[in-house]
Structure 1
């Protein structure tokens, strides 16, 4: 049987209200969003460290929390929920060794130290079992915190910005460990982060949170390539967003008016004059060689601009170009391309925006279903909360 955590609750937090409704199975679900969006508060409600005002939190048939009309009130203590929680600041006991820290949740169990040593071996830290926390590196402390969270064999693992302070190589190793542990134990993992690279590295699905509500949930690549609305677009930091008007549409394509710049786009299911949000991925923009004939890849949507910045990022260049009216455009391309072109700041360039790569986002309002409507389905692709069906679509 596939384990399932269902979350459907409301909690008022000062001037804002946290309304979270989602389901997670044996997977790593990343909660992603800006600071103050409600990600940590969601983990605390699931863990039993914070009590919602109403709703229900359930793992399979076990009700963790319930406060709903006509049903008995339930608020299972945190210690009985079998949840492992890894905090951002590790929260190791400074007066205990690594082995003692891991063994602590096991209490007086006769095999506590043996179990703790097995977990340290799993985390490749058995040789540091008798070191104190201050004698360990940040990455080692974090692995001990993970081992301690796994000591009681939890069904659910919560990670709250747990790797944010670590260097990239250490984070990458820990991401691999988490994915392996999750697969081996079939854990439900909720992973809070504001780092999109971490989300891609470790997660199976992505839940975008804004102002205490879920904007979109689905497979990470689907959410990133097909954001549900402008809010998701901005939260994910996707560049080259545009607000445009539909001035022509048909089976072969559409024509958009982007504040005086006319762009050919794929067919759009929208009436003439409709205001839409669209974007084009930086990697889908091409530079046009001034001394070469145009290929099929660069025949549409030519724009002139001035190079503002060129920055090398690993094996890719990120080029920032200003259009004549000052609007910025970002281009990403492999470092092996355009080697013969002068792309220093101040140089004039010609861009081609591929018609097929302009992604149109249909405008829609975010509306939450009523409390008691559990979004318990496994989302196959990507979704936002649909007021018509009160489910994920």
Structure 2
């Protein structure tokens, strides 16, 4: 669905070695995250917008300016990269090794009389003014990437492209830079495309998510919506949805849908049901709840109660992860905070009572759509 306040319109095809890149995107003043596995075509999209890759056909338009157009009945347009005024931050910094931080940032401004002043302002803005005279080899990865961002924004672009910009940085540095990018986008009203294969990055910086697989956009929408309601099995697999399973629709009622999951009855919340009775469903690990044996059962977990045997326990940074075997022999993943369920013995081999929240059991549409 087109973005209602779209400034960047992308609609092109390009034959690559492994597949045809067939891209359809509309982007407003936001951070749109292009998410997908390596080799899905995400970087090629940025390169086509920047003028570093020429599509076979289609159109790329930004704020009324045609960057590229090749289609029957219309004159061909291919604006040179230097005239597109697009900021581009590459994965591996791409700083000039023989130039200092100041010289790198000043480079796109070199024909302007106030180049030195503006470059220093951007170094100050990115909190690296003290590194002005250092060469890339004398800076950390995070410092080099700050220089790269300053250089990309020094010429006042309205469109910023970031290609896996912080993938090589440690967590603390990555989080600080992500916060800086988000603040700059809001302050400057930029249109930003941010490429990543890490869903955590999407949540940290993005407004919307475009899931890309083999050169096509599989789904676009607010990040939480895409993650909670993937439009197809391909999207669910791409974003790493846990607890996917196949089931049969037994009955549809106004209050819910009864499924048969390999002999185990499950209730799902009311939702559109595919034509075929055999469906793909999932339940998020956070929607699998552990029940206390000596406490009343809350209304939210009165459906889909069952016994489960703990097979594995993992201690994550933010959550505890349990892998449990349910009566039909399948394994479910459960996530909960470290402080939850402390009175219970949760160790491999223990039998526990769990419930799958009815509202958390979701059906995945069987047809592909974008």
Task: Output the TM-score relative to the length of structure 1.
Answer: 0.90
Return closer, same or farther for 1:108/1:239 CA change in 2, 3 Å cut-off. Answer: same
**1:324 to partner: Cα distance:** 4.6
| Aligned Cα root-mean-square deviation (Å) | 1.6
1:11 equivalent in alignment to 2:24: no
Per-residue deviation, residues 94-118 of structure 1 (Å, max 9, x unmatched):
1111000100111232211111000
1:44 equivalent in alignment to 2:47: yes
Per-residue deviation, residues 243-283 of structure 1 (Å, max 9, x unmatched):
21111111122210112211012234437861222211111
The alignment partner of 1:96 has SS state of: coil
- Structure 1 equivalent of residue 154 of structure 2: 151
CA distance in structure 2 between the aligned counterparts of 1:249 and 1:272, rounded to whole angstroms? 12
Per-residue deviation, residues 214-267 of structure 1 (Å, max 9, x unmatched):
010011111111111111111111101122111111112221011221101223
Unaligned runs of 5+ in 1: 367-383, 385-393
The alignment partner of 2:181 has SS state of: helix
CA distance in structure 1 between the aligned counterparts of 2:222 and 2:275, rounded to whole angstroms? 32
Query: Retained in 2: the 8 A contact 1:307–1:345?
Result: yes
Query: Retained in 2: the 8 A contact 1:249–1:268?
Result: no
Query: Retained in 2: the 8 A contact 1:248–1:272?
Result: no
- Structure 2 equivalent of residue 183 of structure 1: 186
The alignment partner of 2:259 has SS state of: strand
Taking CA–CA contacts closer than 8 Å with sequence separation of 6 or more, which of the two structures ends up with the larger relative contact order?
Answer: 1
Which structure 2 residues correspond to residues 40-189 of structure 1 after superposition, within 5 A? 40-189=43-192
- Structure 2 equivalent of residue 225 of structure 1: 228
CA distance in structure 1 between the aligned counterparts of 2:274 and 2:350, rounded to whole angstroms? 39
Unaligned runs of 5+ in 2: none
Moved beyond 4 Å, runs of 4+: none
Number of matched residues?
366
Query: Retained in 2: the 8 A contact 1:207–1:214?
Result: yes
Query: Retained in 2: the 8 A contact 1:160–1:193?
Result: yes
Query: Retained in 2: the 8 A contact 1:102–1:148?
Result: yes
Task: Output the TM-score relative to the length of structure 2.
Answer: 0.95
Per-residue deviation, residues 26-73 of structure 1 (Å, max 9, x unmatched):
110000001111100000000000000000000021000000110001
CA distance in structure 2 between the aligned counterparts of 1:360 and 1:97, rounded to whole angstroms? 55
Match of 2:253 among 240, 250, 254: 250
The alignment partner of 2:218 has SS state of: strand
Return closer, same or farther for 1:271/1:58 CA change in 2, 3 Å cut-off. Answer: closer
**1:302 to partner: Cα distance:** 2.1
